[in-house]
Structure 1
Amino acid sequence: MAIDMEDGQLTEYAKKEVDERTGESRFCYATACGGGGEFEVRDAHVNFPIRLSTRRCGCGKWKISGIPCKHALRVIYDQRLNPIDFVSPFFKSATYKLTYADHIHPMSDPTQWPNFSLPTIQPPVIKRQAGRPAKKRKRGPNEPRKGKRNNNVKCGKCREFGHNSRTCKNGGPSTGPSTSAAAGASTSQGGLRGRKRANTAT
């Protein structure tokens, strides 16, 4: 609890982040750059500039989170400094206690509230959209699609599986009347002409 925190102690979240980043900092190597509190930290095959005076690292995580990144922690430990001194005051006990210093005041029962001659706020009118209503929620831009697509669909144009004729990109044969149907139509027309000639000759 906040009341049990000692002066200068970090919150549970900040302490957990420092511990995790400390473990990651073991694989980094720091090099001093001629004094002035500037260092260069090598992480795998990438170099990151560090400036302790401004609490900035080239990766940007220290500035965004307020907690030293693994590159900054590598420098802090090499210089025999205390990492708590480089954590933002927002994650320390004094600020944490100040945040929860005020208490929630009690409220009276709704039956005891005063009446006001104001219109009742109603929920907005929901207009039914055209088309079939969606039964599933809209997925996020990076959320993977669940389930597998049915690949047994056969295209009517190119005769390949995995898509239909509407989404076909192979440019298959035309979907006009088949050859057998055309041949049957010509045969029936020829039979009609023959019967007409026989009737005329009679």
Structure 2
Amino acid sequence: MSNLVESFNSWIKKERRLPITQLVDRIRVKLMDQMSDRRDLGLKWETVICPKKDRKLGELFTLSKTWNVVRSNDELYEVHSDPFVSVHIGRRTCSCGEWQINSFPCVHALCALKRSKRNLNDYLERYYFTETYREVYVKCINPIPTIWKTADLDYCKDVLLPPLCKRPPGRPRTKRIPSTGIKTRKITCSRCGKVGTHNRSTCTEPLEI
């Protein structure tokens, strides 16, 4: 969850200091533009599976060329890799655990599917298909024009003004407050020789002459 928040904060880095109404509208515009770009991108793809995952499958097939696969029954196989693993096609499980975690066939599962001569696409989640990607972005966010909005507003009734408060003393914070549990790497400053979080270019320690 922390990674998602950090990515979102970075995405709206220029807009996050705006008032809340302007911030929400800027996010709407960014989403509208992003969805339009991804819709056009999806229409250019010619592969059944999204290109990134299609390339991943190619890499896994190349990696597994030298491995031997032994069949136990129609759905259970043993892959002689390092170490040996068992793959159950019907349950979509592998003893390495990767297939269950990612919901995407691991290299051992690809070996078993190739040995069974089954259609690989039948064992891929719909999430990874180009068709699904296009369906996600088929709809668009409609523009919100302001040409019909009246400029004669009664600011006492129609506009919610910010609260009256004094600016706190000191310079406004520009760096984010670190999340709980984040470990900061300690470095040694080549100017003052102290261990901390600053380096020579940001060092403000007085030097003894």
Name the TM tier (shorter chain). Answer: 0.5 to 0.7
1:40 aligns with 2:65: no
What is the match of residue 69 of structure 2? 30
Matches within 5 A, 1:122-133: none
Note the alpha carbon deviations across 1:125-147, whole angstroms, 9 max, x for none. Answer: 9999xxxx9x898598588x475
Contact 1:90 1:96 in 2 (8 A): yes
What is the match of residue 86 of structure 1? 123
Residue identity in the other structure for 2:43:
I
Runs of 4+ in 1 over 3 A off after TM superposition: 113-122, 125-128, 135-143, 145-150
What is the match of residue 66 of structure 1? 103
Contact 1:29 1:43 in 2 (8 A): yes
What is the match of residue 42 of structure 2? 2
1:112 aligns with 2:112: no
Q: Distance in 1 between matches of 2:59 and 2:80?
A: 18
Note the alpha carbon deviations across 1:52-83, whole angstroms, 9 max, x for none. Answer: 11211122222222221001011112223332
Q: Distance in 1 between matches of 2:167 and 2:122?
A: 54
What is the match of residue 170 of structure 1? none
What is the match of residue 57 of structure 2? 18
Deviation at 1:5, TM superposition (A): 4.7
Q: Distance in 1 between matches of 2:145 and 2:168?
A: 38
Deviation at 1:93, TM superposition (A): 2.6
Contact 2:85 2:95 in 1 (8 A): yes
State the TM-score, normalizing by the size of structure 2. 0.52
The verdict on how the C-alpha distance between 1:138 and 1:80 changes in structure 2, with shifts beyond 3 A counting, is same
Residue identity in the other structure for 2:142:
H
**Secondary structure of the residue that 1:40 maps to in structure 2?**
strand
1:50 aligns with 2:90: no
Question: Quick one: percent identity of the two aligned structures?
Answer: 19
**Secondary structure of the residue that 2:84 maps to in structure 1?**
strand
Higher mean C-alpha displacement, 68-77 vs 105-114? 105-114
Contact 1:14 1:67 in 2 (8 A): no
The verdict on how the C-alpha distance between 1:110 and 1:41 changes in structure 2, with shifts beyond 3 A counting, is farther
Matches within 5 A, 1:119-198: 119-120=160-161, 145=185, 147=187
Contact 1:55 1:62 in 2 (8 A): yes
State the TM-score, normalizing by the size of structure 1. 0.53
